[in-house]
Structures are given as structure tokens and as C-alpha cells.
Structure 1
Amino acid sequence: MTRRRPPQLPLPTRDGVGPSCVGLSHGPWPTIAEFLIERFTAITRDAWLERIAAGDVIDEHGVPVTASRRYESPLRVYYYRTLEGEQPIPFEEQVLFRDDELLVVDKPPFVPVIPTGRYLHQSLLVRLKRKLGLDDLVPLHRIDRSTSGLVLFSVRRETRGAYQAMFPARRIAKHYEAVVPWQPGVSAVPAVYRSRLVDDAHFMQVKEEDGEPNSETHLAVAETAGGHALLKLSPVTGRRHQLRVHCMALGMPIVNDPFYPTLQPAGSDDFDRPLQLLAKSVAFEDPLTGEARSFTSPRSLALPPR
């Protein structure tokens, strides 16, 4: 059976940034412009009108939106997101592997995988699109902005689904390293830790609660010195903040964690104190070729000096 190619977006990728999309639902707005101005209050009326006049707002059929075009639904509208005053992140990613299907990248700390919040051009995805000219690039998974290490990307739409399916089916082995506080004679690490993770009251955090476990991590101590330990962490499940919460629950929160046990204010990044959590390696059987593949980050974590 021949698979249909997904339709092209009505706006091309520009400077690494693909178009954003918003659906027009039923509503009272007289024009599409008025809807956009009311919906996205962080963008001024003048800014929207400038984008519309420049032809940077297009509907799903490729028809430009004008300032006077009447509101209609259902309809999808595409536009370019912009971000003023974005803070540069002074660390560079490293491409470790690239072929026609996959891109494997070593991500530095503080860089988000995809555009989010205060980050657009500094996101890993936009950086890579801009540098490599790969407009169809999509991450196959994500690691936290604070976490460094390996991220896998799909290069082609046609084969993306086969690689994405590895993750929910747990056909990919992921291994991490972390530096944590350690008290000789007191600290202990179980070989396996399981718990139930749910969203906390603050949307940025996750917490444990009683009930059937939905997360599992395998742990081992690689080295101890000077009141710290280097842990080897292998998550079986992929819950948000799983490794960070599991380490905290064991009484050893990861060094320099801005979320646990205490959530630090937004914008308080200290580039001299990165989170000591590293996505060190991945291994899997290629779903297209059956070839055994493995990749390892060139980064390493070191225990603090005594």
C-alpha cells in the first residue's frame, strides 16, 4: 500500500523556525485579525497588523489573511512566532551521527529541545534546523532543558513513525548518569525504585503519591568521594522528571537541580552550576534495517573535589 505524503505547510521554515498554527473555532470576532489580537495578548495589535501586511499570516489553503478578512470557522491559520529579547545560551550542541533517517545530537544544559516559553531561536530544534537546513527535523523524544546529553531526531517524515514507535514500546534502552549527595554508612541505593508519579500543585513539578506505581528506575552506584556519588540510572518508564523525583525520594536530590527539592524562580539560571544529570547513552535495534545501534555522549560528570 502506498502511503500518502503529509501535506506541506502553507508557510516555509524561516531561519529555523517553522510556522505556528491556530484553529479558528466558532466565535463572535468580526475579522480573523481581531481574533488573533484578542487571543494572543502578548503580541501587540500593531505587531499583528505588520505581520498580516507582510504576508506572514496564511490560512491552511495558502490564502493570505488580510486585516479586513472576515472571521470564518473552522479554519486553521499559520503564522511565525517571534520572541523579543531572547537570552543567548552560551553552550553549543554537537552532532554525533547523521544519516538519511536519524540525527543524534549531544545537547548542552540549559537548552530546551523544542521552542517553549522564553526560548525560540535558542531551542535545540531551531538551532539545528537553521544550521543544517533540515526543515522536516522532529525530535523523537525529549530531555529536560536542564539535562544534558543525547537527543535523537527524525530526519524524514516517511520513516518517522517507525522510530517514534520504539519509545512507547520500550524498545530503546536509555542510560543516564547523575551526581548526588552521599553520606557513607547512611546513604543507600536500591537496585530498582518504583513509585506513582503525578502532577504537583505547581505545573512545573511532579510528586509521588500512594497507589499503583507508574514509573520504574534501575540504579547503581558507580563511584563515591567527598560526600557525593556518581549514579548510573536506567529508566524503564519515561515519566516527566522521573529520575529527578526518584533521586529526591531516596534522599539524594541531584546536584544543582533547579526544581527539586525547591523550585527556583524563572530566569534564575546559573550557567556555572548546571544540573548534574546526563543522558549518557542509548541503544536500540533499528526498526528499518534491524541493525543494532548504540550512541554515547562524549560528556562526562565528575564528582566535586574533596
Structure 2
Amino acid sequence: MLSAQQFKPPLRDGVSPSTVFLPFSIQYQTTFEFLCNKFAHISRQEWLQRFADGLVFSQSGLCLNQQSLYLSEQHIYYYRHLGSETLVPFTYEILFENDEFMLIDKPHFLTVNPTGQYVQQTLLTRLKKDTGNADLTPIHRLDRETAGLILISKNKLTRGIYQQLFAQKKVKKIYHAIASYNAHLSFPMHFSAFMQKGEPFYTMCINDGVANSHTEIDILEHNHFWAKYQLNPITGKQHQLRVHMNALGLALKNDRLYPKIKHDIENFNQPLQLLAKYIYFEDPLTQQQMYFSSKKDIYLPE
């Protein structure tokens, strides 16, 4: 049997396992009891199914069952039980790749990380499944509804170096968006606001306070009804571009959250008109200037 140091949990259909540490305790007789208590939001039946399906492993690689004893101060690995997911009928494209990262052109509707109802239908799962690289990790965020460029780390040893580029605001990202045209607004403009979590929890809102979000906005073209905007986020708050544009009375075309949440069935033919078009930075390892452009585009409605 492999030692704990040697065992590396494999990918299953592109999905990496979760890891949990078993602290010292005399409360539990079995690992099953511990998991049911620690993750109370997951039903006992779900955990029974995971054990029955062979989805729970010790740190040495032993497949555990419902009766496996609780062994303190060890790690265990478990995989999610995969339910049915709505197929996202769009594919990603790798635009650039070296030993440290790959640059992906992501389609609309594809969530980046496995979360909630999306596991298989996510960019990261598809990439891991296609490449076999379990160490792939997004270096920054990109909303499910937004298409365009995202950097994916391939090397966990250098991942932090690239993440620091974003933390230190050394990466420039340019977005394109389609929204209504307002002749009474003057561009280019710099928009600032205090943003915080909204209600429901997955939305953001603007409130009174010292501005913590900043966006540079310009118009590329318009037809008197619609305009194509260029957006340069100086900060990186969740949904920042959507919230800022909505605050100007320029809600993005096909936005299902702002200004009003739409609960109707999602339509793959009506993607949010927001595209991460350009990204550029100096590579911290090679000092090479990196400049990338999405192959995708968005257009003014006729």
C-alpha cells in the first residue's frame, strides 16, 4: 500500500476529491458518523451513497466503507456524488500555454469552478478531464455568465506568483459590453462606488460609503439605441461591471440579475453581453510582456 506521502487521489471524470482532516476526538466511532456531523447540510443517505459508490478514501488510499473506524489526526478524501446536470453546449479554447499557465477563451454559461449545482459542466472539470492535470487552478475570477479570457495555473509551485500580479493590480483587463445608449451621458468616464453584498446573497449592491470599486468606461460605437462599451475595471469586486453599468441606467443586455432578478428558464441563445476581451501583464518569471485577445466578439443589435 502507498504511504500517505505517496498517495495522490486520482481525478474522477475530471473532478478532484475534497480533503478533510479528522481531529483528535473520542466522540466518533466511525468516519461515517464524523462526516454526517461535520457536513450536516448533506443528508445521511447521501453519505451512505458515497460510501457505497466507493467515493471515500483514507490518506493511504484505502477505500472506506460505512463501518470504517474513525482514526484521529489523519486526512481523508471524498468525491461528490454526481447528479444530472444540464449540458452547456459550448466549448472552451486554449489560446496560449506554457509550463506555468494556460490562457483559456471561455464561453458564456460555463461556470469556472465546481460549485453548487455545477460539477461536470464547469471549465475546470472539463480542463482536468481533457488534460489529466489535477493541479489546474484559476488564477482569477470570471463569472459564469461572462465569456472571454481567464488564466489557469498549471504549476502549484508558481501559482502564488501569478496570483500576486492580480492582488497588486499589475494585470490590465479590458471588457466589451452591450447596453443601451444614452446621449446625455458623457464618455469616457470614471465611475466609483461603495459596493457590498446585496439581497439575495449572490447579488451585489451600491450603498453609502467610501468608494471601494472603480471602473473606467468608454463607448466604442453606437447606433443611437444600443452602444458597445469598453470597460476597464480598476478594482475587482464581484459583478462590478454589471453593477456599475446598471447604476448608470445602462443595464447590460440579457443581464438576469441587474436591475431585476429573472427566474425564468435560462436561454442559451441570450447570453449576457459581457466579454473579457483583452488581458495583459509582464510575466514575473520571464519579464516578457504578455498581451492576449479573445477570439470572441459581441455586436450591436440591429
For normalisation by structure 1, the TM-score amounts to 0.89
Aligned residues: 296
Unaligned runs of 5+ in 2: none
Counterpart amino acid of 1:17? V
Task: State the secondary structure of the residue aligned to 1:167.
Answer: helix
Matched, 1:285 2:273: no
- The 8 Å contact of residues 146 and 275 in structure 1, kept in 2 or not, is answered as yes
Alpha-carbon deviation of 1:76?
3.3
Task: State the secondary structure of the residue aligned to 2:227.
Answer: strand
Cα distance in 2 for residues equivalent to 1:90 and 1:215? 34
Counterpart amino acid of 2:18? S
Judged with a 3 Å threshold, the aligned counterparts in structure 2 of structure 1 residues 112 and 71 are, in CA distance, closer, same or farther, namely same
- The 8 Å contact of residues 11 and 132 in structure 2, kept in 1 or not, is answered as no
Counterpart amino acid of 2:294? S
Counterpart amino acid of 1:152? L
Cα distance in 1 for residues equivalent to 2:230 and 2:215? 10
Task: State the secondary structure of the residue aligned to 2:130.
Answer: helix
Paired residue for 2:253? Answer: 255
Which residue of 187, 191, 194 maps to 1:193? 191
Judged with a 3 Å threshold, the aligned counterparts in structure 2 of structure 1 residues 269 and 54 are, in CA distance, closer, same or farther, namely closer
Paired residue for 1:297? Answer: 294
Cα distance in 2 for residues equivalent to 1:100 and 1:236? 29
Cα distance in 2 for residues equivalent to 1:105 and 1:122? 16
- The 8 Å contact of residues 218 and 235 in structure 1, kept in 2 or not, is answered as yes
Paired residue for 1:223? Answer: 221
- The 8 Å contact of residues 7 and 59 in structure 2, kept in 1 or not, is answered as yes
Paired residue for 1:114? Answer: 113
Counterpart amino acid of 2:282? E
Judged with a 3 Å threshold, the aligned counterparts in structure 2 of structure 1 residues 9 and 291 are, in CA distance, closer, same or farther, namely farther
Judged with a 3 Å threshold, the aligned counterparts in structure 2 of structure 1 residues 27 and 170 are, in CA distance, closer, same or farther, namely farther
Paired residue for 1:3? Answer: none
- The 8 Å contact of residues 10 and 78 in structure 1, kept in 2 or not, is answered as no
Paired residue for 2:138? Answer: 139
RMSD after superposition:
2.1
Paired residue for 1:172? Answer: 171
Identity of counterpart residues, as a percentage?
39
Counterpart amino acid of 1:194? S
Cα distance in 2 for residues equivalent to 1:88 and 1:150? 21
Matched, 1:233 2:225: no
Alpha-carbon deviation of 1:252?
0.4
Counterpart amino acid of 2:111? P
Alpha-carbon deviation of 1:141?
0.8
Matches for 1:145-156 after TM superposition, within 5 Å: 145-156=144-155
Cα distance in 1 for residues equivalent to 2:97 and 2:118? 25
Cα distance in 2 for residues equivalent to 1:10 and 1:69? 20
Judged with a 3 Å threshold, the aligned counterparts in structure 2 of structure 1 residues 288 and 72 are, in CA distance, closer, same or farther, namely same
Matches for 1:1-306 after TM superposition, within 5 Å: 10-24=8-22, 28-37=27-36, 39=39, 42=42, 45=45, 48-53=47-52, 55-184=54-183, 186-189=184-187, 191-265=189-263, 268-305=265-302
Task: State the secondary structure of the residue aligned to 2:256.
Answer: coil
Report Cα offsets for 1:128-154 as digits up to 9, x if no partner. Answer: 111122221111111100000001011
Paired residue for 1:4? Answer: none
